[in-house]
Structure 1
Amino acid sequence: MKRASGILLPIASLPSRYGIGTFSRCAYDFVDFLERAGQRYWQILPLGPTGYGDSPYQSFSTFAGNPYFIDLDQLAEEGLLSEEECEAIDAQEDGQYIDYQKLYETRFDILRKAYERSSLAEKPEYQDFLEENKEWLEDYCLFMAVKDWFGGKSFAEWDEDIRLRRPEAVERFRELLAEEIDFYRFQQFYFQKQWYRLKKYANSHGVEIIGDIPIYVAFDSADTWSEPALFQFDENGTPSAISGCPPDGFSATGQVWGNPLYDWEYHEKTGYAWWIKRMRRCFRLYDIVRVDHFRGFDEYFSIPYGQDTAQGGHWAKGPGIALFHALQKELGETRIIAEDLGFLTDSVIRFVRDTGYPGMKVLEFAFDSREESNYLPHTYTQNCVAYTGTHDNQTVVGWFRSLPEEDYRMAVRYLDLKREDENEINWKMIRTVLASVADTAIIPIQDYLGLDDAARINTPSKLGGNWIWRMKKNALTEEMEKKIRELTELYGRC
């Protein structure tokens, strides 16, 4: 990758008129800001429809898009909504946090009004969309319609015949819920139409999109319900094992994530067809794909289903390099970022190196006074992506304020930080990342803005209060744009 830099800002965190970031004028304005500031990349979080907990990493589908991101103003421009209807939803135009409950209660009602006026069946571009996405679209739309029929319950609680996808039940629900299924098709059509338009605009202005996908899918998803053979399920559709990580210094009992694990033997027999389908979709949506928990392709931690802790789990072998050879054969050379953070075994290090993909370096991880760190910039290689922090970290300002004394001293020494400089710790960290030899540097927008942990995106293992931060409408100033561009030029990233 050519030496360059970019900014991390989730779509949901964009300012907009309607309570959550969308593919609106504000998104196009952000692309313009990136271009003027000399940035080549816009990194986002997963775009899938979110469920319980509002996490983009626990989506109802790994292929579908989040209908909350559909821009209502564009629907109004097409005559599908009135300005009065848009204003009536009362969505806190410039609120700092997303109210997902209000979104759930209001957004689908107004989208349904647009759907009822759309006459999509008559449009050739809609028919092309249906054909292009038929591999996943019909199963997803049926899944969501049936989920609504059962009051939003997990498919594990549905009636047995439709839970196990018996053909007569599938056909019965297709007929019974035909209009609801069509409404979900409508949502996905406009999600894709508006996203492709935004991505095309970004690319035409020299900005590439770095997308993000979790390695696993959610248990309650169209993916698991429609293709159970892909996963370690028994004959009743119940997982035999689930994902997590083992006990360590941070958690004496480990972490239970709860995602179903892949049946890698089955995937190998199919030539990794589902993964090829998944990644083909990704590279239609994004220019570069960051794959979360990349080490799980080498080895993954398996926990018996029903366990409350990870103490009874064990490591098992993943598909390794064979999966990526299959992807390369079908898709050609692909641009992937391997999320390889945390403790890495020699086997994982060799695996990431053999793929050739750049790994990640997070500067906030560098100043642990208890041990040597390969997150210190003088240890970087060119083939990596350097960050001040990610969506899972504190903002730089929040991180610095909470450092233990010994780590604080180490950071002060390494960064050559004077007492009078501490109020600008974010810029000191940003400079250090941009000056590093890493080919790619990505800075979360909160760090450019100098915000504290009130602007943090996610705190892992914390229930509630995540994924809600929004950037204020006028946060990005000409002064900031100029300062970012000057630093970008200074360190050869323009």
Structure 2
Amino acid sequence: MRRESGILLSVTSLPSRYGIGCFSKEAYDFVDRLEACGQSYWQILPLGPTSYGDSPYQSFSTFAGNPYLISLERLVEEGVLTEEECGAEDWGKRPGAVDYEKIYRARFRLLRKAYERSHIAEDPEFQRFKYENSWWLRDYAVFMAVKGVFGGQEWTKWAEDIRLRWNNAMDYYQREYYFDIEFQEYLQYQFIRQWRELKAYANGKGIRIIGDIPIYVAMDSADAWAHPELFQLDENNRPTAVAGCPPDGFSASGQLWGNPLYRWDYHRQTGYQWWLQRLSYCYQLYDVVRIDHFRGFDEYYSIPFGDEDATRGHWEKGPGMELFRTVKAALGEKEIIAEDLGYITDSVRRLVWESGYPGMKVLEFAFDSRDSGCASDYLPHNYPENSVAYTGTHDNETITGWYDSITEEERTLVREYLCDMRTARKNLYLPLISLIMRSSARICIIPMQDYLGLDNRCRMNTPSTVGKNWKWRLLPGQMSDEVVELIGAVTKRYGRWNWR
């Protein structure tokens, strides 16, 4: 079996001129660098439009793209914006971090100008895009336009007539806010055009895209508003229970995500039609799909709506293999990575095994001093070939920050496992990366921060916290020729070079 590797980096973490990574020249440069150091994959975070907290895992739509990622330079080339207009905006003062408040104000102000100058309604390609995507696009565009009317409030707080989608209310808002709706459709048109061009460029260089999708949708989303029948909602379309996970190593009180739970009985009755649509659309955007919280298909954690934490939750049965047999029958063999981390039971292991999808192995979980012996699934000598190995994920500390934070006893375990008592602490990220790259795992994915040896100031996300996450960005020139050479050397040394 071919051995491969890749780099984990959110599109938003790319350097760029206007405050946030996007589909600009810097994205193409990053693909070139991936090719230069022999990588096979670029793993990204979800691409959906983000809401409060800026998490890509809480999106206004499971189908729509984030307007922040639209390249303003491309709009300048199209003649609907000027460089002077883009340069006059305040994008924040720290090039290594996204200032989401400034991004929100500046981007949408410029994007609205671009739309108003575009004469987009006359573009036959735009009309074709609207027709082909009408099954999700119209609801999303109306949802976002109405959200603007109500000052950005969650749809559960809108007036009853539009909250419950009465016909007269739907007609009224679509008529009165026609141009606001078309603006949202224009943003999605620009997003998909630019993303598909970038993906085609990457594929042409032998780089495949690993997309990341949350198992759940956000409560404040077009999906929940337009299709309440899919979720555990009451007669007023308010949740009866919400998603999360129980207390674990990340949080002593568990994680209260707040997403609506699926009505799996309804999905089963419809032949899992919504899931088939969702995954089919994903494979138009990505080459491989990583499904976050895969264990939720075996059993999902149900928390009473209104609780302040996850401690009173309980497990309920999910659809299991029935869903994935249906997917295979309808879509054929598709590449999926099962995010099987957290509290894992024998039935979850059986589901991953029966599906045939590779699970995930995270090095940072391997050296818990509370475990004994060498039997941990996360120790690299135990990685099966059918797995994807990581030093850490977007939810973890950087590998350097992790080593600094663990106990002295655990640091000794790491050193002994490496047979390395001499490498300077600040350079230990290199033998740790090499450790999983030489494992049997077919694919190894390394976060960009780990290849740079960065500490926890560059961490992407700390679960159960709000306000400081999803901000980290590469600085211009940080992925230098020396870094590319180092990555390439490790990749070649352990037989993971992409010879195409």
Match of 1:295 in 2: 295
Q: Does structure 1 residue 350 correspond to structure 2 residue 350?
A: yes
Contact in 1 for aligned 2:129/2:189 (Cα 8 Å) = yes
**In the alignment, is the contact (CA less than 8 A) between 1:76 and 1:83 conserved in 2?**
yes
C-alpha distance in structure 2 between counterparts of 1:310 and 1:23, whole Å: 37
Q: How does 1:369-408 map to 2 (within 5 A)?
A: 369-372=369-372, 373-408=376-411
* Structure 1 match to 2:118: 118
Compared with structure 1, are the counterparts of its residues 249 and 466 closer, same or farther at alpha carbon in structure 2 (3 Å cutoff)? closer
2:413 alignment partner in structure 1: 410
How many angstroms does 1:420 deviate by?
3.5
Cα 1:253/1:483, change in 2 over 3 Å: closer
Aligned twin of 1:58:
58
- Aligned pair in 2 of structure 1 residues 472, 227: CA closer, same or farther (>3 Å)? same
Aligned to 1:442: 445
SS at structure 2 position matched to 1:91: coil
TM-score by length of 1: 0.98
Given the superposition, is the C-alpha separation of residues 11 and 181 from structure 1 closer, same or farther in structure 2, using an over 3 Å criterion? Answer: same
> Quick one: distance in 2 between partners of 1:366 and 1:25?
38
* Unpaired stretches in structure 2, ≥5 consecutive residues: none
Specify whether residues 377 and 352 from structure 1 end up closer, same or farther in structure 2 by C-alpha distance, changes over 3 A only: same
- 1:296-341 Cα distance to aligned partner (Å, 9 max, x none): 0000011111122333322110000111111111111110000001
Checking the alignment, whether the CA contact within 8 Å between 1:364 and 1:389 is kept in structure 2 is yes
2:481 aligned partner: 478
Query: d(CA) in 2 for partners of 1:264 and 1:343?
Result: 22
Contact persistence 1:43–1:209 (CA under 8 A): yes
Is structure 2 residue 32 aligned with structure 1 residue 32? yes
Q: Distance in 2 between matches of 1:438 and 1:487?
A: 15
1:459 aligns with 2:452: no
Q: Distance in 2 between matches of 1:312 and 1:164?
A: 30
Could you list the runs of 4 or more consecutive aligned residues of structure 1 that deviate by over 4 angstroms after TM superposition?
A: 248-252
CA distance, structure 2, for counterparts of residue 79 and residue 463 of structure 1: 38
TM superposition score normalised by structure 2: 0.97
State the match for 2:283 in structure 1: 283
Structure 1 residue 485 displacement after superposition:
1.1
Q: Which residue of 1 aligns with 2:128?
A: 128
Q: What is the rounded CA distance, in whole Å, between the counterparts of 1:437 and 1:192 in structure 2?
A: 37
Q: Say yes or no: does 1:359 pair with 2:359.
A: yes
User: What SS does the corresponding residue of 1:441 show, helix, strand or coil?
Assistant: strand
* Map of 2:73 onto structure 1: 73
Q: Which residue of 2 aligns with 1:151?
A: 151
State the identity as a percent. 58
Of 78-87 and 31-40, the range deviating more from structure 2: 78-87
- CA shift, 1:251, in A, is 4.7
What SS does the aligned partner of 1:52 have? coil
Report what 1:468 is aligned to. Answer: 471
Matches within 5 A, 1:419-438: 419-438=422-441
Cα distance per residue 1:61-120 (max 9 Å; x no partner): 010000000000001101111111111113258711100000111111100111011112
User: What letter is aligned with 1:240?
Assistant: T
Partner of 1:225: 225
| Letter in structure 2 aligned against 1:9 | L
1:246 Cα shift?
2.5
CA RMSD across the alignment? 1.2
The amino acid of 2:67's aligned partner reads P
Aligned partners of 2:429 and 2:131: how far apart in 1? 48
Contact 2:429 2:450 in 1 (8 A): yes
Relative distance call for 1:493 and 1:56 in structure 2 (3 A) is same
Q: Distance in 1 between the 2:60 and 2:40 partners?
A: 31
The superposition leaves residues 381-422 of structure 1 with CA deviations (integer Å, 9 ceiling, x where unpaired) of: 000000011111111111111111211111110012223332
C-alpha distance in structure 1 between counterparts of 2:151 and 2:137, whole Å? 21
Distance 1:312 1:343 in 2: 16
Matched, 1:261 2:261: yes
Shift in CA distance, 250/107, structure 1 to aligned 2, threshold 3 Å: closer
**Alpha-carbon distance in structure 1 between the residues aligned to 2:456 and 2:450:** 10
Is contact 2:426-2:453 (8 Å) kept? no
CA distance in 2, matches of 1:108, 1:341: 37
Q: Deviations over 1:400-457 (max 9, x none)?
A: 1111121111111001222333221111111011111100000000011111111100
1:39/1:84 CA distance change after superposition, 3 Å = same
Q: Once the 2 structures are TM-superposed, how far is the Cα of residue 252 of structure 1 from its aligned partner?
A: 4.9
Quote how far apart the aligned CAs of 1:179 are: 0.4
- Are residues 93 and 191 of structure 1, via their aligned partners in 2, closer, same or farther at CA, if it must alter by over 3 Å? farther
Cα deviation code 1:13-54 (max 9, x no counterpart) = 000000000100000000000001000100000000000000
Return 5+ residue gaps in structure 1 as ranges.
Answer: none
State the alpha-carbon separation in 1 of the partners of residues 309 and 128 from structure 2: 47
SS at match of 1:311: coil
Aligned to 2:166: 166
Q: 1:248 to 1:442 in 2, by over 3 A?
A: closer
The answer (yes or no) to whether the contact 2:92–2:102 under 8 Å persists in 1 is no
In 1: Cα distance, 2:141 partner to 2:93 partner? 30
How far apart are 1:6 and its partner, in Å? 0.3
The number of residue pairs the alignment matches comes to 494
